[in-house]
Structure 1
Amino acid sequence: MKNLTLFAVFMLLVSSVFAQNHNGILGKWQNPSGEGRIEITKKGEKYYGTLYWLKQPNDENGQPKKDKKNPDETKRSRTIQGSQILEGFTAKENGLYDGGTIYDPKSGKTYSCKMTLKGDKLDIRGFVGLSLLGRTETWTRVK
């Protein structure tokens, strides 16, 4: 009975550490150009990211930038700032998050994506089809 109790406590601690490591991605991140900041949150078992800050949130007319290039016409009138650009990521092992997508408001395109957490750096790899056919950029945690 003592061994069973010790095993249960051990499993509880291991699962707690495992969950904490996966949640290390939560928080605010800045893209390499410094043009945008994204807040990553968790809903259920999936991770999402919202573009909460833009260096230049307004267009040339002083109006909030709209999602004009979105292929979904119903979303073209929404503001880019505040839009969800990361969707549906699942935590794997070794700081990997995959199975999600990233939306690029500059082009209006959505790409398959995987993310790898490396301390206060987050490698974002967007791709079409195979991960080999893509591009990686590194985001930095906002302190």
Structure 2
Amino acid sequence: MNWLKKTLLTTLLLLTVVGLACANNPDAVLGVWKNGEGTGMVQIYKKGDKYYGRVVWLKVPNNPDGTPRTDINNPDEKLRKRPLKGLENMREFVYVGENEWESGQIYDPKTGNDYSCEMKLVDANTLEVRGYIGVSLFGRTDVWKRQVKKA
């Protein structure tokens, strides 16, 4: 029975240490994440002290004619021919502590709209991404799942 107690205590200690490391690590969000619909993956990366994201995978990467999908709903007509794959759709996030990043922008290529955005790391493999207009109360949260952790 002593070995069981020791094993449980060791496991609990390890989980606590891992949890604390994640909680105090601004770079814990880095990696590749699949959106809640499963239609795309975004790689979150860092430039300077801010966090950005770019589309790295699409469930449907091509149009019916075989050409790569483009940003056809962009309000700027000049940008409608840019490919969706590789598109930087998340910008300027700042780590504010407690596994939260705020003051960012997210672009939705389905609508061509930009939204204010914040992210919260729920656990090492679950990210809540909330886009909104005005105040966070009026928005939508999507739950993303980690696919690849940054090496």
What TM-score does the superposition give when structure 1 sets the normalisation length? 0.85
2:3 paired residue number: none
1:106 paired residue number: 110
CA drift at 1:19: 9.8
Does the 8 Å CA contact 2:24/2:98 hold for their aligned counterparts?
no
Partner deviation per Cα, 1:33-62 (whole Å, 9 max, x = no partner): 111000000000000000010011001111
SS in structure 2 of the partner of residue 23 of structure 1: helix
User: Unaligned stretches of 5+ in structure 1?
Assistant: 1-16
User: Unaligned stretches of 5+ in structure 2?
Assistant: 1-20
CA drift at 1:20: 6.2
Aligned positions, number:
127
Does the 8 Å CA contact 2:22/2:28 hold for their aligned counterparts?
no
Counterpart amino acid of residue 126 in structure 2: K
1:7 paired residue number: none
2:135 paired residue number: 130
Task: List aligned pairs for 1:1-143, cutoff 5 A.
Answer: 21-119=25-123, 120-143=125-148
CA drift at 1:73: 2.0
Give the 4+ runs in structure 1 shifted more than 6 A: 17-20
Counterpart amino acid of residue 116 in structure 1: K
CA drift at 1:71: 1.4
1:10 paired residue number: none
Identity of aligned residues (%): 43
**1:19/1:121 Cα in 2 relative to 1: closer, same or farther (>3 Å)?**
closer
CA drift at 1:101: 0.4
